[in-house]
């Protein structure tokens, strides 16, 4: 399950992308995927609210995809390059 957004620019709505590739509208549960939402609910509560993904309304196939998070305040990325640098500088893992 992935958190994404859809709709026309400036009117984006929160959506959940299921493992089957279907986009499900959750705008009746959450205003948007933004800082306020994550501070208010946290990931555990968000997952709990949308655990019955099959019952959620579908998003039309032709609906525009949007950025996954509205106005992110900070982006942290840790991946393979981090592991590479650890080995290069003999850092403990």
Distance CA 64, CA 5 (A): 9
Domain count, the chain: 1
Using an 8 Å Cβ cutoff, are 68 and 3 in contact?
A: yes
Q: pTM of this prediction?
A: 0.69
**pLDDT tens by residue, 84-93:** 777 777 666 5
Whether 72 is covered by a domain: the verdict is yes
Structural domain of 55: 2-88
Whether 93 is covered by a domain: the verdict is no
Whether 77 is covered by a domain: the verdict is yes
- ∠ CA 27-28-32, rounded to 5°: 35
**pLDDT tens by residue, 30-80:** 999 988 888 899 888 988 888 888 889 999 999 998 877 787 777 666 666
């Amino acid at each position: 399950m992935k958190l994404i957004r859809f709709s026309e620019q400036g009117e984006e709505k929160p959506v959940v992308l299921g493992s089957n590739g279907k986009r499900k509208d959750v705008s009746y549960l959450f205003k948007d995927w933004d800082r306020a939402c994550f501070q208010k609910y946290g990931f555990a509560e968000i997952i709990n609210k949308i655990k019955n993904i099959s019952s959620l309304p579908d998003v039309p196939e032709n609906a525009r995809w949007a950025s996954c998070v509205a106005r992110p305040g900070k982006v942290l990325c840790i991946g393979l390059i981090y592991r590479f640098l650890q080995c290069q500088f003999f850092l403990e893992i």
